[in-house]
Chains A and B, each alone.
Chain A
Amino acid sequence: MFLIIETGSQVEIMLVSSLKKKLAGAEGDFLLHTDVEIARGGITAIAGPSGSGKTTFLRMLSGLTTPDEGLLEVDGEVWFRKEPGKKTVVNLKPQQRKVGVVFQGYALFPHMSVLGNMLYASRDMVLAEKLLNMTGLQQLKHVKPGNLSGGQKQRVALSRALMQQPRLLLLDEPLSALDEAMKSVLQDELINVNRELGVTILIVTHDSSEMYKLCDRVLLFDTGRIITDTSPRELFVERATTQKFAFKGEILEILAVDAVSIAVVAIGNNLVEVVIDSDEKETLQAGDIVIVGTKAFNPTVRKIAAKDFDFSRL
């Protein structure tokens, strides 16, 4: 099906039409079959269970994996095209595609400085300086990756990907190895990069707060298909129950205190105690993964003084 060949739209940057790839899954082979249009300038989350085809989708976009058939067009330029049963017409090499890729592993050259790693992608010194300033790496530009923290390394990987002035920036769980505070700082930087450079971003993530904070759209993959295409707000807020305040956590312990039970739950870096009803106690035990929630009427909101809170940049 190649019904849409002209993509004169001003807002659309990427068109994926019947892009297919047979994949081997844990429960047998399945077909990755994607049809999607991505608007220019947005940040789109790619979510779904592992083995659902998210990473292969990004690899097909970047040219690291060759699809079996279909059409991929970015900014009016065909990157891949093969009709069923016919020869491949177009298949640009990764370096011919204006695409930046950042994976969870940093994949930096250990013997090169931060600046060296960036200039390897492009010799554009002006852009390198701009990116060093944007990502707070200016002071570290002569340092080698071995001496950098995880967050700093990921900033270098991001800056290097941006050195190629990509039309698309593909991020595969780029922040999942970082702690919550570092993650939050890098999320802000990604938003900044998206706004200032206007680069269109696709990001694989499992983190619902990350999707909510960063993304204007979520594509939910399941066994090779995009089963849901919606906004994070629709996905997490409006489709949930009437509980407004909900966090995923793990029960560490259930304590009996007086006539009540108290569940100690780990949510992110925090431990919270929740008084639970006795019928809930019967169905819950340590190790259970749970949602801790309450209605919008119950949480209190208090402004924090600077002295209460010091999440200085790490």
Chain B
Amino acid sequence: MNRIRATVTGIDRRESLHRVMLTGGDHEFTLITLELGEEYGIGALVEIHFKSAHVSLAKNISGQVSIANRLEATIVSLREGELLAEIVLESSAGRFFALLTAEAVNRMQLVAGDRVTALLKASDLYLSKAGEL
């Protein structure tokens, strides 16, 4: 799991459903989850976790996209398989991985050093107390 350290800045609640706003590095994050423990109050130091397979990458992105979270990042390295490729990225919020299809890497001609935008859906982000999980 990718981990990004962040601080809770806001919480909206509708019954058991919660939207949590966070800040990590230079980035704002929005996360949607069911029940939220009391320990995740505003100001709590937490980790945002997400699977590499849940990361999408965009290059020269324009137009409107529904995805709530965008992370400006630089490609550090790529490890390409026949079908899938694992990309290591660096952002102001820390280092993380993305798992893309090898076909997408070729189509976008992704190479180390490229500036890209990582896209993360709010419902694909997990929350844990810093150090747990």
Residues of chain A with a CB closer than 8 A to B123's CB:
295, 297
Q: Is the CB of A260 within 8 A of B126?
A: no
Residue in A238, A239, A241, A243 whose Cβ sees the most chain B Cβ within 10 Å: A241
The answer to whether B2 touches A260, judged by C-beta atoms less than 8 angstroms apart, is: no
Task: Assess whether B126 is in contact with A242, with CB atoms less than 8 Å apart.
Answer: yes
Interface flag for B67 (CB, 8 Å) = no
Return the chain B residue nearest A295 by Cβ: B126
Contacts of A258 in B (CB 8 A): 81-84
- Shortest distance between the CB of B8 and any CB in chain A (Å): 12
Using CB atoms, name the residue of chain A closest to B79. Answer: A259
Q: Per-position contact with A for B100-133: 1 when CB-CB < 8 Å, else 0?
A: 0010000000000000000000011011110011
Q: Check A239–B85 contact: CB distance below 8 A.
A: no
The stretch from B22-30, B34-42, B58-66, B68-76 touching chain A is: B34-42
Q: Does A107 contact B (CB under 8 A)?
A: no
Interface contact A242-B86, CB-CB below 8 Å? no
Contact B36 A242 (CB under 8 A): yes
A237 within 8 A of B: yes
| List of B residues within 8 angstroms of A239 by Cβ | 37
Q: Flag if A259 contacts B99 (CB, 8 Å).
A: yes
Whether B91 is near chain A, meaning CB under 8 Å from some CB there, is no
Chain B, Cβ-Cβ closest to A291 = B133
CB of B53 closer than 8 Å to a CB of A: yes
Q: A275-303 CB contact bits vs B (8 Å, 1 = yes)?
A: 10111100000000000000111000000
User: Is there a chain B Cβ closer than 8 Å to A244's Cβ?
Assistant: yes
Q: Which positions 199-248 of chain A face chain B at CB distance < 8 Å? A: 237-239, 241-244
The smallest beta-carbon distance between A13 and chain B, in angstroms, is 32
Within 8 A of B (CB), among A235-278: 237-239, 241-244, 258-260, 275, 277-278
Check B1 for interface membership: any CB of A closer than 8 A.
yes
Closest to B36 in A: A242
What class of interface size applies to chain B in its complex with A?
A: 20 to 34
CB distance from B32 to the nearest CB of A (A): 8
Residue of A nearest to B101 (CB): A259
Q: Contacts A277-B2, A295-B33, A295-B126 hold; do A241 and B132 have CB atoms under 8 A apart?
A: yes
Complex Cα gap A295–B120 (Å)? 15
Distance between Cα atoms of A184 and B36 in the complex (Å): 30
Contact A244 B84 (CB under 8 A): no
Q: Is B56 an interface residue (CB 8 A)?
A: no
* Nearest CB in chain B: distance from A267 CB, A: 18
Q: How far is the CB of A220 from chain B (nearest CB, A)?
A: 18
**What residue of chain A has the Cβ atom nearest to residue B123's Cβ?**
A297
> Which residues of chain A have C-beta atoms less than 8 A from B102's C-beta?
259
Query: Contact at B81–A277, with CB atoms within 8 Å?
Result: no
B90 at interface by CB-CB < 8 Å: no
Known interface pairs A238-B37, A242-B36, A243-B126. Does A279 touch B97 (Cβ–Cβ under 8 Å)? yes
Shortest Cβ distance from A241 into B: residue: B128
Q: Judge whether A260 and B84 touch: CB under 8 Å.
A: yes
**Chain B residues with CB under 8 A of A242:** 33-37, 40, 126-128
A242-B34, A244-B35, A277-B51 are known contacts; what are 4 more A-B pairs with Cβ within 8 Å?
Answer: A241-B129, A242-B126, A244-B34, A259-B81
Residues of A within 8 A of B (CB): 237-239, 241-244, 258-260, 275, 277-280, 295-297
Q: Which residues of B contact A (CB under 8 A)?
A: 1-2, 32-37, 40, 51-53, 79-86, 97, 99, 102, 123-124, 126-129, 132-133
10 tightest CB-CB pairs across the interface, nearest first?
A259-B81, A258-B81, A259-B84, A297-B123, A242-B127, A242-B33, A277-B52, A296-B34, A259-B86, A241-B128
A-B contact pairs, 5 of them (CB 8 A): A241-B37, A259-B84, A259-B99, A296-B33, A297-B124
